[in-house]
Amino acid sequence: MTQNPNSDPMQDLALALYYRVAELVKAGKTREQIIAQMGLQGVRKETVEMMLDRLAVSRRNVEKRRGRLSILIGSVITLLALGLLFGWFGLPVANDLAFIPAMIALGVGGYWLVRGILDVINL
């Protein structure tokens, strides 16, 4: 790995520690296990706790973003399904050919909508 000659060694070290903590989180280690393991490597408990807190905030922001996207997708699918059911697109209202796909689309849209809401409110 080549290093940038203008990079700060302390920033590189902090970034490496941050990545290591993230890897341990991804591996399923508990908070206490991570603190203990990083403590054996000479990292202060307060530093590891700060990194874990920042990772938790970052993860939560990603979940909220994903939830908003799911809400948007679910809303669009649900509106299209309702349009088919109620004849908003010039098709006969709930004819045999449109009813089954519309109900399936309504279920799919509802799933995405509920999933997005749950992601945004953190359930």
**For residue 75, what is the DSSP state?**
H
25 is a domain residue: yes
53 is a domain residue: yes
Mean pLDDT, rounded, of the chain: 86
The number of domains in the chain is 1
**Domain interval for residue 20:** 9-120
Does the predicted model carry a pTM greater than 0.85? no
96 is a domain residue: yes
d(CA 85, CA 80): 9
4 is a domain residue: no
Arithmetic mean of pLDDT, 20-45: 90
3 is a domain residue: no
pLDDT(1) > 60? no
75 is a domain residue: yes
1 is a domain residue: no
Q: Looking at residue 91, what is its pLDDT?
A: 63
Long-range CB contacts (within 8 A, 24+) of 64-67: 64/119, 64/120, 66/116, 66/119, 67/115, 67/116, 67/117, 67/118, 67/119, 67/120
